[in-house]
């Protein structure tokens, strides 16, 4: 299918482009390149040996976006574009509602203009909030704890209501757990701007010498070793989940919420040990106070993804670690220095 990919130059977007092309789809990227580098798209082009067609456009720019849709006539959309830093979302709520919520509405308007009725949306397990039980299944109540989480849930609600009004549409709301790792080539990977918010890029930046040590946020949680437990998923598996979602959307109208994780949880200390084992490096770390807003543990119930999409994660922790290091060691400063 012709697939318009918003935010296609980002971490998950670039990995998804490779899987889309491998599956015979024709992606077209729309990105404002505010949090992503054009070099990332160039690297994808290099890997597939042809350029990725794209346009520089913000998802809130309705007239340009509609022109692009009229030109490309996509049969489906994958909507990655959005702001995603929890702490920043509390400081700049208007920007988060504007980009993540208003941006989704603008996108829907552009889709309607060309009768495009399939969308795969990049949501997050953060919409669940504190767990009543684990693993989270999709019926778990949603109680977002941050502005960021609220914007993701609002966008989900908008898309669900849009489906109700357009019963022939296919809306797939993918709730990602914690994506880590990189493509095996080491040419594309996660490249956070500034201070990394997330664990994995912090570990690789310590390993490459950009940071002195990792702070482990709390060792007094109610988990086996006291540190936070998360469901880390290899970004290539996550990318494949989007292809499976498109295949489903092509044939089946409906609105579905689907967890995308492995179903397996690892603690911060287990992540450090796994990285050290995979790379032979040592990660200096020390225990620090808990980070505000963090929960002890989260893990996905992945049965719906298996039954509905026929998808399950294939890559284990060692591959997540080795590939994350493959990317970071070959690109110590991310995309800022090209080679
Ligand atoms: C965070 C976001 C979540 C978002 C997800 C993916 C918060 C509260 N949640 O999830 O909304 O969807 O990223 O982008 O920010 N840790 C350390 N030291 C560090 C960094 C992290 O010990 O320097 C710990 C955390 O306390 C946590 C685990 O590592 O236990 C994973 O943290 P992180 O990678 O930030 O992901 P989440 O907090 O799960």
pLDDT 10s digits, 98-121: 999 999 999 999 999 999 999 999
Ligand 1 centroid distance, CA of 46 (Å): 32
Stated pTM of the model: 0.97
Q: Are 140 and 131 in contact (CB under 8 A)?
A: yes
CA 276 from chain centre, in angstroms, equals 25
Ligand 1 centroid distance, CA of 224 (Å): 18
Ligand 1 centroid distance, CA of 198 (Å): 5
What integer pLDDT is reported at residue 281 of this predicted model?
97
Q: Please tell me if the CB atom of residue 153 comes closer than 6 angstroms to any atom of ligand 1.
A: no
Q: Are 77 and 68 in contact (CB under 8 A)?
A: no
Each residue's pLDDT, cut to its tens digit, for the chain (339 residues) gives 999 999 999 999 999 999 999 999 999 999 999 999 999 999 999 999 999 999 999 999 999 999 999 999 999 999 999 999 999 999 999 999 999 999 999 999 999 999 999 999 999 999 999 999 999 999 999 999 999 999 999 999 999 999 999 999 999 999 999 999 999 999 999 999 989 989 999 999 999 999 999 999 999 999 999 999 999 999 999 999 999 999 999 999 999 999 999 999 999 999 999 999 999 999 999 999 999 999 999 999 999 999 999 999 999 999 999 999 999 999 999 999 766
Q: What is the DSSP letter of 220?
A: -
pLDDT per residue as tens digits for the range 38-64: 999 999 999 999 999 999 999 999 999
Atom of ligand 1 nearest to the CA of 202: 23
Atom of ligand 1 nearest to the CA of 216: 22
Q: Please tell me if the CB atom of residue 152 comes closer than 6 angstroms to any atom of ligand 1.
A: no
Q: Are 200 and 180 in contact (CB under 8 A)?
A: yes
Alpha helices (H) in 136-198, listed in sequence order: 147-165
What integer pLDDT is reported at residue 338 of this predicted model?
64
What integer pLDDT is reported at residue 1 of this predicted model?
97
- Before 135, cis peptide (omega within 30)? yes
Hey, what domains does the chain have and what are their CATH numbers?
Answer: 2-179+233-261+300-313 (3.40.50.720)
Distances from the Cα of 138 to the Cα of 135, 268, 283, angstroms: 10, 25, 35
Measured between alpha carbons, how far is 64 from 55 in angstroms, rounded to an integer? Answer: 10
User: Which of the residues are catalytic?
Assistant: 148
Q: Are 223 and 267 in contact (CB under 8 A)?
A: yes
Q: Are 15 and 41 in contact (CB under 8 A)?
A: no
Atom of ligand 1 nearest to the CA of 84: 14
> Residue 271's closest CA among 206, 203, 195, 217?
203
The residue nearest atom 19 of ligand 1, judged by CA position, is: 199
What integer pLDDT is reported at residue 339 of this predicted model?
61
Testing ligand 1's pocket by substitution, the residue of 151, 197, 206, 215 carrying the most ligand atoms inside 8 A of its CB is 197
Measured between alpha carbons, how far is 245 from 248 in angstroms, rounded to an integer? Answer: 5
Sign of the four-CA dihedral 72, 77, 81, 82: positive
200's CB contacts (< 8 A; 6+ apart) are: 178, 180, 181, 190, 232, 271, 320, 324
């Amino acid at each position: 299918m012709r697939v318009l990919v918003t935010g296609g130059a980002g971490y998950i977007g670039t990995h998804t482009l490779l899987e889309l092309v491998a599956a015979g789809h024709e992606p077209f990227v729309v990105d404002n390149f505010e949090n992503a580098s054009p070099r990332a798209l160039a690297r994808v082009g290099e890997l597939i040996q042809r350029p990725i067609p794209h346009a520089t456009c913000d998802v809130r720019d309705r007239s340009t976006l509609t022109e692009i849709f009229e030109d490309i006539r996509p049969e489906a959309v994958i909507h990655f574009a959005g702001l995603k830093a929890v702490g920043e979302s509390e400081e700049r709520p208007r920007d988060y509602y504007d980009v993540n919520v208003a941006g989704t509405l603008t996108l829907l308007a552009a889709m309607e203009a060309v009768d495009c009725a399939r969308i795969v949306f990049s949501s997050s397990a953060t919409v669940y909030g504190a767990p009543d039980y684990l693993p989270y299944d999709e019926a778990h109540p949603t109680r977002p704890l941050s502005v960021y989480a609220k914007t993701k849930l609002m966008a989900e609600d908008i898309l669900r209501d849009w489906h109700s009004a357009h019963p022939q549409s296919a809306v797939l709301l993918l709730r990602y757990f914690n994506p880590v790792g990189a493509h095996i080539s080491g040419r594309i990977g996660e490249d956070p701007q500034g201070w990394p918010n997330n664990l994995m890029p912090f570990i690789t930046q310590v390993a490459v010498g950009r940071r002195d040590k990792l702070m482990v946020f709390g060792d007094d949680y109610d988990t086996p070793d006291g540190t936070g437990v998360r469901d880390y998923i290899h970004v290539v598996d996550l990318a494949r989940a989007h292809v499976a979602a498109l295949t489903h959307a092509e044939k089946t109208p409906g609105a579905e919420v689907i967890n995308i994780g492995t179903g397996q949880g690892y603690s911060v200390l287990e992540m450090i040990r796994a990285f050290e084992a995979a790379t032979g490096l040592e990660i200096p770390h020390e225990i620090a106070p808990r980070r505000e807003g963090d929960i002890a543990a989260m893990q996905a119930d992945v049965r719906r993804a298996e039954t509905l999409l026929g998808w399950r994660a294939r890559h284990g922790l060692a591959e997540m670690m080795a590939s994350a290091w493959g990317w970071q060691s070959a690109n110590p400063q991310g995309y800022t220095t090209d080679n």
